[in-house]
Structure 1
């Protein structure tokens, strides 16, 4: 699917307090999921979707992110001397042929505030927004479909997932209307972390967006919302209610496996499940895991 969208914005400025003390001096996005940091899965997804201009929005003590995606000539020379071609390719091809940029968020005033930092980079074009905590199976396929919808409908598109009712207060929840497709919904409103009883649906935003540039004008006018922060969901709510601002807003519902690496339990599940599926680790790991599980109560 060929679209005119080439830019991706990846916020990675969170404090990572749920993973202290590990994240005291290391960005939570750099926590390893087996042998790659979580953020690399997200960057690879963007690249796999055909996006070749990437902006990472970082915060304090985030130099490790920039260093990871930069070249390490000394390490490359060592691996070359050892003729370790496989490892050399792993560290030199991550962002090959991709323009990678960085900007500091400054004060962490919410996702909407972070997105505003991308306005100059976006330069009036539609763009993809990928949250750095979320690893999504076949995420490049999902994002490609979202970009196609955004391109053909001149719309903003949000990846939605159905969650249990008890989980609704953790997410931004969409108020939706049906379309001719069972997987695509029109969005007429958005509520950030509602009380379960007042949630408009069980469809929640899960960290992938394709947005029209009109979102910046909306974000600039917003007053702090939930938690005293500039919420992207508040901007999406206004855009959905008034399509003259930046066109319609659609939601694409998917059932791909998703891991929130900013949550301890989900992070552990990601490591276990992905390790069990790897050709190099799976057989031995699964054998050990089955034996270990027998002793659990």
Structure 2
């Protein structure tokens, strides 16, 4: 079956290796026209999940569908899904062009596609070099070129930024957003949270084999209210004074500062002045993906 939707759906997907539960009832969907970041700590089950989506690992329970059916039942899978789970497996003496020509023959695409993908990934000038002389970043680009040979509707990438320099990372970001901008689907796993924050529209976060969040990145940011961090002469006195004005979301941080949600610095300053509390400094806390990620994955099963 191939409904050409570009959608990936995962339903109650589980995998157990002996006594170890690697993935435990994970459900999520990946929609076309967006970059979906797939996040989780080491050992959370990300790579196992990707392998089950691609039919490389048999689930213990549940299932995954690509374009409405199992990946293994797609009539021309390379024309639907391009996947990179690791940038290895290249013969060191073979050139990038020859490697791609062999791959093109295997999936039944014309040789002309080879030069097109080499140019797309920025390897046009290095196409006739032996792969043994490639850096890790160049190997990542070559692996991506293989995934693009069939002009796929969907890209599934595991840590595509490994080995890339800052210029390469910026290039990868623009490439993935451009690919999704064509109405195609991108599912990308990465440990580089700052880069995911700049690239992804949606997130799927798993921890200890379970899904703890899925949805737009903006929704995750909105789940935590911004705080003002306050360094003052009497945190207890200021907290009591703020509470009298209806500001109740106040935390005492390990360094002695107050974290105040629901109030701006001007209000806090005015309350402190009226309470006779000296303010030594205030800063509005930046809510970044790293903080939110650690909050989601620090508790046993997260939330959402």
Q: TM-score range by the shorter chain?
A: under 0.3
TM-score normalized by structure 1? 0.24
TM-score normalized by structure 2? 0.24
Question: Which of structures 1 and 2 has the bigger CA Rg?
Answer: 2
